[in-house]
């Protein structure tokens, strides 16, 4: 969890989905992005991050692969995007792969919903979790860059998770960290203290839709 999402947003629509209405200072590698109803680890997705080259509130839309590959990974190692596609928010300050990213490598991921499966007899029933009014969800995430043996730089990210809300515990015990407004997304990108941000989303406008198998 969270291992499958729906993201058919255009790259240019991602900043607004993340509560940023001003234009980004940079659009990086967005031609690699392919919108889809079924996005998983290893997929290229546009994220919003601070633009380290700009002053003040500058931000960039940067297409990265979902599934963190830490910068200390050996250059000749084959990247495994499924190993760290999620990070437990309760332990990000303790684990080396994530702790060093908290000060300056925070980002936002916008999707239209995410999927979970619940076992129903011999089958697994899929559910789509989304906002009732159809607006995008914004997830808290961390990113890193890794240089491989061929001198290429790969940017990757991981989505933070937390314990499930009271309304979703029947479906799964974990859920992504959803930042519900501009105050929360700004605080996350700005590097503010994060304990109050990494909590389950408890509002009733997050709903589940039973999907046909």
Mean pLDDT of all residues in 190-201: 94
Does residue 183 sit in helix, strand or coil?
helix
Under the banding of pLDDT at 50, 70 and 90, the label for residue 1 is low
pLDDT digits (tens, 9 = 90+) for 56-107: 668 999 999 999 999 999 999 999 999 999 999 999 999 999 999 999 999 9
> Which pair of structure tokens corresponds to residue 206?
């997050």
pLDDT digits (tens, 9 = 90+) for 117-137: 998 788 889 999 999 999 999
Count the helices and strands in the chain (H runs, E runs): 3, 13
CA-wise closest residue to 80 among 69, 65, 64, 91:
69
What is the CATH number that goes with domain 5-210? 3.90.1680.10
Domain ranges of the chain: 5-210
pLDDT digits (tens, 9 = 90+) for 30-43: 999 999 999 999 99
CA-wise closest residue to 141 among 37, 16, 50:
50
Give yes or no for a contact between 14 and 48, defined as CB atoms under 8 angstroms apart.
yes
pLDDT of residue 54: 63
DSSP single-letter state for residue 197: T
Does residue 12 sit in helix, strand or coil?
helix
Q: Which residues are catalytic?
A: 2, 116
């Amino acid at each position: 969890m969270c291992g499958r999402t729906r993201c058919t947003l255009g790259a240019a629509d991602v900043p607004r989905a993340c509560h940023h209405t001003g234009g980004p200072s940079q659009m990086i590698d967005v031609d690699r992005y392919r919108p889809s109803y079924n996005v998983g680890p290893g997929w290229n997705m546009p994220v919003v991050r601070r633009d380290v080259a700009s002053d003040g509130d500058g931000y960039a839309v940067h297409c990265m692969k979902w599934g963190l590959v830490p910068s200390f990974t050996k250059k000749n190692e084959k990247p495994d995007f499924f190993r760290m596609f999620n990070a437990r928010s309760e332990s990000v300050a303790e684990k080396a792969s994530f702790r060093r990213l908290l000060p300056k490598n925070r980002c936002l991921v916008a999707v239209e919903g995410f999927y979970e499966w619940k076992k129903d007899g011999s089958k697994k029933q899929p559910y789509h979790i989304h906002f009732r009014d159809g607006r995008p969800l914004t997830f808290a995430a961390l990113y890193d860059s890794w240089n491989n043996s061929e001198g290429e730089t790969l940017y990757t990210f991981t989505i933070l998770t937390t314990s499930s809300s009271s309304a979703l515990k029947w479906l799964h015990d974990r859920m992504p960290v959803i930042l519900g407004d501009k105050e929360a997304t700004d605080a996350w990108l700005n590097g503010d203290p994060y304990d109050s941000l990494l909590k389950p989303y408890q509002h009733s406008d997050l709903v589940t839709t039973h999907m046909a198998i």
